[in-house]
Structure 1
Amino acid sequence: MKKIYSSFALLALLGTSAQAFDYKVGGSVEFFSKVGFNQKQIDVANSIYPTDTWGSIVGSAYIDMDFLTQEQKDLGNSLTGGFGIMAGGLVFDNTKDASGNPNYKTAFFGSANGVGNSVVAQEYITTNFVIYNAYLDYVKKTNDHRVEIKVGRYNSKAQFMSGSTQGFEIDYQYKGLNLWWFSSYGRGFGYSQWMYDFYAPKQHGNANYGIHAFKPSYTFDSGFYISPFVYFSPDFYVAPMLELGFDSNPNFNQEGFRSQTTIFFMAPYHLENAQNDYRYQFVAGKNGQTLAIKQRFDYNNFNFGAGWYQNFGNANAHIGTYGNAMVGPWDFWTNTVYDFGALSNAVTKDAKTGYIFVGASHGKFSWDILGRMTFSTRGDEQAIPLNLTYNFTQNCKIWLKLEWQNVTLHKGYVINDGTSINPDDTKWQSYQTKKSVSSDRSHAMINISYSF
C-alpha cells in the first residue's frame, strides 16, 4: 500500500518526457429535434399549454491526451487528459414567443422576469458555447490494487449527477472491494439536446459547498453486490442509501441467459436551512424515502423486464432530479417544457411508478419499447416510448423516439416553469387548476450524429 501512495509524489515526473506525449483529435456534428403533437395555444386561466417543438444543431471538438511512455505504463501508471468544447444553438423553436401572452409573461416567464422570450432557451439550450471537458486522470496499478484520481470537468458517472461534473473523484479497488469518493462543485451539459454552462445544482446564496458522495461497495464471486453509501450537500441534505444487486452472468455478451436484479433504498434527511424550501410545489420537510426495484432478463440479443420506483414524502426535493440512475431505463424529462422544464411527476411527492420493457439489438439496429404508469399527489402519467437506433457506419448514427404520453394535473396545482413556488401563496392562487386537467404530451424526438 505504501508503494501505491508514494507513487503519487512522482506524478509530475511521469509526464515530463516530451517523447511520451500522444494525442487524438476528433469532433462531431449533431442535429436534434423534439416535435410535440399538442400545439394548443397557451391558456393560462384553464392551465392549457402546448408540448414544445424545437430543434438544434451543435458541433464539438475534442483532444484526448496520453502523457506516458509505454515503459511507464508497463509499471502500472497511466496519466491521460482531455479537453472538449461544443458550440451551437436553436434553429427553430415554438416557445420563443411565449412571453407574448400577457398573463404568462407576468406570472412565469418572459421579459417581465428578465430572461427573454424562449422557454427552451432557458431550460435546454441555455448557452451557445461550453467547455464540457477539461480533466486529468491518473491511475496506478500494483498487483490487485488500483487507485484512480480524476480532476477537472468530465462526464460524470455518479448515480445522482448526470451530465458533466466539475470537481474530483478518488477510486480505490481491491478485488471485489471498491471505495469511491466524489466531490462536485458544478454541473454542465455538452449535448445536442442539453447545452448548459456549469452551475451549482444546490446552492443557497453565494455559498457553493458542493455535492459529495462516499460509496463503498463489494461484489462477491457469486454475482451478489452490496453497497451502503451516502450522498450529502452541506446546507441541504444528508442521504444515506443502500443498493443490493445480483448479476447471474457478469460477462454476458449477447449469448445465453442473464438475470440482473437491483434493489435500492434512499432516506434523505433535509438539513434545517432546506426543510422549508418548496420543491415541485411541496415543502421539502425533514425527510423522505425512495424505494426502487428493477429486474432485467437477457436472452441472447433480446432483453425484457420490469421495475418500480416510489417516493414516500418529498424524497426527491433536493436529490434525484439533477441525475437519477434509479428511476429506470426511461427519460423523466418528457413532459412539456412549460411545466418544471418537462420534468415528470414521477419524482414528486408520494409518487409511485411501475414500468415494463422489452428490447433487442440486431447488428446495426436496436429497438426497445417501455410502458409506464405514474400516480402522484400532484399528477398522474401514462406513457409508451418506442426507441429506434441505427448505426449507418461507425461514425454516423440516427436515433428516433416516438412516445405516446398523457399527463393529468390534479386540482389545486399550478403548471409553471418554476420549481420553488408555494402554490398556496396568494400570488399563485389564481393560476391553480380548478379541476383536473389532462394534456396530450405525445412527441417525437430525433438525433442524427456524425463523428470524425
Structure 2
Amino acid sequence: MCIVAIIASKSLTQVFADEVEIIQSPGSTHIQKHKPKIFSYDGMLASFIKAGFNNAKVDTAIGQYPTESFGTIFGQFNTHYDFTEIISNESVNVLKIGLGVSAGGLFIDSTLRDGASFNGSGLSGGSGLNNNYFGGWNGYLGNLNDDGYPYKHNRNFVVQNAYVDLQTKYFNFKGGRYESSMDYHSGYTQGVNLDVHFGYGDKARNPDNEIKIWWFSSFGRAFAYSEWFLDFYAVKFANIDGKLVNLGIHAAGVDIKYGGLVDSNNYKKGSSLLVRPFLYFYAGLYEAPGLKLVYENQFGNGFGLKTTLQGFFLHIHPANQLNADKGAGKSRYNEYIDEYSGNLNFILQAFFHNHNARVGIYKNFGSGNAHFGTYGNPMGFDFWTASVYDIGASISDVINRNAITGYFSGGGSYNLKYGTLTWDILARLTRSPRSDEESVALYISHAFKNNIALGLKLEWFRDTTKAGYNPGATLPKTENLTVARTDDRSHAFITFDYKF
C-alpha cells in the first residue's frame, strides 16, 4: 500500500511549481522528484487616482493652469513557460518564454472641463490631456497627430510581454518585449539585452566577483502600469530623405563587481563595489559616455551604508538631415539645447534595521537631459509630479538646463498582524533658470496578506515659473511670462492593487 503526498507551490506567482512524490512501502521510503510543469501565470487588478488641489480654470493670457486630476482602472495577465529543467543542461540556468497583455482606461479626467477650447488639441474636448499618462498614442513614430486630433487614436490595450529569456553559465540573452532593467530606460522595452560574464579572483571570499560585458538595444518603449499606460512608441526617430525611421537607442558597457554580501544572523554582512563604464547613443542625435560607481557596506548588525555616484557627458549633434528639429541650438523642455553638456547624480543611503535615510544631489551642466536621461533617470525619486500642461506629461524642471536638486528622504517598514506597513517622506529643493520648485511628500502603503495593497501619497508642491518662460509650453497659442508666477502643484495619489 502506498501513501502519496503532493507538495504544491508556495508562491501565488508560481502557480505550478515542482511536485514531489513521497512513496512509502514496507521497509523503504524514497523521494522521487517529478519534472515541474512548464506553465505558470500571474496578474493584477489595480486602480490609480491623482487628485490635484489646484482647480483654477485655464487662462493662457496669464499662464494659469490647474493641477490635473485623473483616475484609472487597470488589469494585467502574464503567462510564463519555463523549459529550464526539460533541457537538463548544467550550463543553462534559465530558459523561459513570457507572454503578457494589459488593458485599462480613464474613469476620471479633469482636463475635459478645465475651461480651455483649443481647436485641434486635447483641450478641444474628446479625451482631454490626461491620456498623456494613460492611453495616448500618436503612432509608433509620433506622426498620427498630423491630422490635428491625436487624441482620437487612443489605445487601451497593449501586449507588453513577448520575450525569450536565456541565462547560461557564460552569457545571457533576453529579446522581445519585456520590462527594462536598464538605468536609463524604464518601463517596457522592445529590443534586446545581451551579455558575456565570467568570475575572477577568490570567489569563496568574494562571491560577487564578476566581470560582465553587455549590450542593450531598444526600438520602442511602453508603459503597462496603473498610473502610466502607453503602447509601444519610438522614443526618438530620424528623418531620412523625408521618411521617418527609428534607428534605435543603443548602449554598451562593462560591469566590474568586487566583494559580496552574505546573510549573517538574519542581517546582511560584507561589502560590494560596482564599477560600470558605459556609452549610450542614438545615431545622428547624441552620444552619452558615462560612469556609475556603487559601494555598499553592511556591518552584520542591521546597519549599513550605500553610496551611488554616476554621471555622463552628452554630445548633441548640430541640426542635420537626421534630426533637423532636435539638434543642438534648438529648444526642448522650453529651454535651449547645448551641443555639449553633462549630468551628475549622487546618492548616500543609510540602513538601520527596518529603517533607511537618504540624501541626494542631482545636477545638470547645461542641457544634460535634453534628449537623454528623462526616459529612465535613476535619480532615486519620482520627478513626474508637476503639471500635464507644462513642459511634458507632468515632468519637473529637475531635468532642465543647469538645474540643481537636493533632497532628503527617510522611511521604514513594519511587519504587522495583517501585513506589511511601509512609509517614506521626501523633501526636495530644485533651482533652475526656468523655475524654482519646493516639495515635501509623504508615502504610506500597506500590503495585506491576501495580496491586496493600498497606498497613499500626499505632496505639497510649489512651482515658480520665471519670466521669459512658458508654463503651458506644450500647448498651442500660449506665450512666455512677462513676470514670474507661482502655482500650487500639490496633489494626492491613491492606489489599489490586487495581485494573483
Report the TM-score, using the length of structure 2 for normalisation. 0.78
3-state DSSP of counterpart to 1:268: strand
Work out the CA distance in 2 between the residues paired with 1:172 and 1:230: 17
Once the two structures are superposed, residues 328-362 of structure 1 have per-residue CA deviations (whole angstroms, 9 ceiling, x without a partner) of 2x110000111121100000000000001111111
Rg larger in structure = 2
Aligned-partner Cα distance in 1 for 2:286–2:122:
29
Aligned twin of 2:197:
173
| Contact map agreement 1:156 1:164 (CA 8 A) in 2 | yes
- The partner residue of 1:366 within 407, 422, 426 is 422
Give the residue type in structure 2 aligned to 1:224: L
1:288 counterpart = 2:288? no
Per the alignment, residue 311 of structure 2 pairs with 265
Shift in Å, 1:225:
2.3
Distance in 2, Cα, partners of 1:287 & 1:50: 35
Give the whole-Å Cα distance in 1 for the aligned partners of 2:330 and 2:285: 10
Aligned to 1:338: 389
Are 2:61 and 1:45 aligned?
Answer: yes
User: How many Å apart are 1:394 and its aligned residue?
Assistant: 5.0
One-letter identity of the residue aligned with 2:384? W
Shift of 1:123: 3.8
The 2-side partners of 1:216 and 1:108 are apart by 45
CA–CA distance in structure 2, aligned partners of residues 191 and 207 of structure 1: 27
- Pair 1:232–1:357, CA change in 2 (3 A): same
Query: Aligned partners of 1:231, 1:71: CA distance in 2, in Å?
Result: 36
**8 Å contact kept, 2:427–2:439:** yes
Q: Which residue of 2 aligns with 1:352?
A: 404
| Amino acid aligned to 1:125 | G
Q: How does 1:392-407 map to 2 (within 5 A)?
A: 392-407=448-463
Aligned partner of residue 95 in structure 1, secondary structure: helix
Structure 2 gaps of 5+ residues are 1-34, 137-154, 200-209, 260-270, 320-326
- CA distance, structure 2, for counterparts of residue 239 and residue 75 of structure 1: 35
SS at match of 1:45: coil
2:469 maps to which residue? 413
The answer to whether the Cα contact below 8 Å between 1:21 and 1:67 also exists between their aligned partners in 2 is no
- Separation in structure 1 between the aligned mates of residue 272 and residue 41 of structure 2, nearest angstrom: 39
Contact 2:238 / 2:247 at 8 angstroms: preserved in 1? no
Maintained 8 Å contact 1:97/1:117:
no
Match of residue 54, structure 1, among 62, 66, 70? 70
Are the structure 2 counterparts of residues 417 and 434 from structure 1 closer, same or farther at C-alpha, using a change threshold of 3 Å?
A: closer
Instruction: State the shift of 1:283 in Å.
Output: 2.6
Amino acid in the other structure paired with 1:438? T
Q: Given the two structures, how large is their TM-score scaled by the length of structure 1? A: 0.87
> How many Å separate the matches in 2 of 1:107 and 1:378?
28
Q: Which one-letter code corresponds to 1:333 in the other structure?
A: W
Question: Which of 125, 136, 160 pairs up with 2:135?
Answer: 125
Percent identity, please: 35
**SS in structure 2 at match of 1:157:** coil
- Give the 3-state SS of the residue equivalent to 2:61 in structure 1: helix
- Secondary structure of 1:110's counterpart equals helix
Q: Determine if contact 2:111/2:123 at 8 Å carries over to the other structure.
A: no
Q: CA deviation at 1:417?
A: 5.4
Matches within 5 A, 1:36-435: 36-70=52-86, 72-98=88-114, 101-102=116-117, 105=118, 109-111=122-124, 116-126=126-136, 127-141=155-169, 146-175=170-199, 176-205=210-239, 206-221=244-259, 223-249=272-298, 255-273=301-319, 274-325=327-378, 327-328=379-380, 330-339=381-390, 340-363=392-415, 364-416=420-472, 418=474, 431-435=479-483
CA distance in 1, matches of 2:329, 2:122: 24
Work out whether residues 48 and 73 of structure 2, in 8 Å CA contact, stay in contact via their aligned partners in 1: yes
Q: Is the 8 A contact 1:388 1:401 kept in 2?
A: yes
In 1, the alpha carbon distance for the partners of 2:221 and 2:473 equals 20
User: Displacement, 1:139?
Assistant: 1.3
CA shift in 2, pair 1:116/1:285, >3 Å: farther
Between the aligned partners of 1:77 and 1:322, the Cα distance in structure 2 is: 31
Q: Report the Cα distance in structure 2 between the residues aligned to 1:297 and 1:68, rounded to whole angstroms.
A: 38
